[in-house]
Structure 1
């Protein structure tokens, strides 16, 4: 009986340790700075991205892997006799899943199963880990697809953004909103709703207040949390993320709280000092 191998893309924001532990294959997106096309997580990481934004005053563009990129990634695994389950970035945010589908059509039917995560960052990562565990337990591609598509609507993803600067540079808030927000020290709250990034709230005041709001929002749902694992994900905010991690560990029954760093795609939208909490509901 063939094995099932789990594929995803670089927006999953899983640590190298988890990727290696669960033998997950990553297909990188691209970060484009003028004439430079860099592979997310391979030839550029978030700290370098923030340096380039500071130097140029501009945000990069992001681009999906091409169908050829996917075909090359899939080919060796299919030739080895294994099947593939690919869980990708929300189709509301990128053409990544569509390009994977174009590539999959060049292989025999039923060998590659595609799942739209309807999510981003470790919202994808959580689904990927669940799929990888199921694959290790011998579940088929069809069984994994049913499980993940049932679970994806129960993923909670919320980020506190430290500054409106990146949203402004990316055209997601006006110059007036940016000016007033900066003046009043407004920190946006972003959630994933129906597969898209949605600005749900604005916390005014000190950063500590915003972090507490993030924690309070998650802890209000602690009785509904899947207690297997939870993610605290950050961009250049390791100290604050560690604090959030400790609070989650102390105040919930979650068995494993992972702390991970955002990749370039999420970082280019949210900016440095972003902190998020990601978990599944029962």
Structure 2
């Protein structure tokens, strides 16, 4: 009999506690440092607090990857429970978290199987892979086969976001001050997407954010053959509930998703993209 499988992820998957419970996925948090205070990225320190501090003193918190030692402390009890582990991480192009998970898995190799999957994605773009892994687990698939299937699917996670401002990207060193200033002066709203594990600008919108959100969603879903079970609308906060409700209905109108989840990104993601950021994320059907 194969050992049961546990699906794990780091906290950047941005799945809600309800989804983690429903799909039986365990997570390990990255670290947030704000001044002298250090928090796990598990909701103790919220995006609202992050934005309030930035507006007050102009500084952003620092984020830190999960260390190999922390991974070992996370994995070892799960192995001791009798599980093989399929662990998924934020793209290795954006963080050394995945590399550290691999190091921990190698050190624990005698205690059980740990299959580390580089999602090549960010936020719920990787969370979609975790949900797929949970479905495969529940179908009885072995850990090695689940990991292989998730690696096959990583290029098919459609992960993108439209930003209200480049200020936080600039402050965090992820774009130039000239680019941020130019976008602000021209009132441009950049759309970023994940390509080969990296965030790249794919388009720039102009207009009110309500209009931009709708145009962006329509264009992201146009002509796409989607995996119909799940989609996410993931935002970074300060998006009105009425807007989120309207956009959820728009996604349902444009594509045959069985469930559309609305989630808010944690501080690791929000600290880089700033308030008002929103994405529609889903799996595309792999080409035959």
Q: Deviations over 1:243-271 (max 9, x none)?
A: 22111112221111111111111101110
Equivalent residue for 2:257, pick from 233, 254, 262: 254
1:221 paired residue number: 223
- Matched ranges for 1:203-222 at <5 A: 203-222=205-224
- Matched ranges for 1:27-176 at <5 A: 27-109=28-110, 111-176=113-178
Give, in angstroms, the shift of residue 204 of structure 1: 1.9
Could you list the structure 1 runs, at least 4 aligned residues long, displaced by more than 4 angstroms after superposition. Answer: none
Equivalent residues of 1:162, 1:272 under 8 A apart: yes
Q: Deviations over 1:206-234 (max 9, x none)?
A: 21331122112223134x11111111101
2:75 partner SS: helix
Q: Deviations over 1:145-184 (max 9, x none)?
A: 1211111111111111011211221223333333332222
2:270 paired residue number: 267
CA separation in 1, counterparts of 2:56 and 2:30? Answer: 22
Query: Greater shift after overlay, 1-10 or 235-244?
Result: 235-244
Equivalent residues of 2:43, 2:266 under 8 A apart: no
1:226 partner SS: strand
CA separation in 2, counterparts of 1:195 and 1:52? Answer: 30
Equivalent residues of 1:232, 1:276 under 8 A apart: yes
Equivalent residues of 2:218, 2:254 under 8 A apart: no
Give, in angstroms, the shift of residue 42 of structure 1: 4.1
CA separation in 1, counterparts of 2:278 and 2:243? Answer: 8
The answer to whether the aligner puts 1:245 opposite 2:248 as a matched pair is yes
TM-score by length of 1: 0.95
Gap runs ≥5 in structure 2: none
Gap runs ≥5 in structure 1: none
CA separation in 2, counterparts of 1:192 and 1:220? Answer: 18
Matched positions, count: 281
Equivalent residues of 1:233, 1:241 under 8 A apart: no
CA separation in 2, counterparts of 1:176 and 1:16? Answer: 39
2:281 paired residue number: 278
Give, in angstroms, the shift of residue 3 of structure 1: 0.7
CA separation in 1, counterparts of 2:95 and 2:173? Answer: 17
Equivalent residues of 1:189, 1:199 under 8 A apart: yes
Equivalent residues of 1:4, 1:84 under 8 A apart: yes
Query: Greater shift after overlay, 200-209 or 7-16?
Result: 200-209
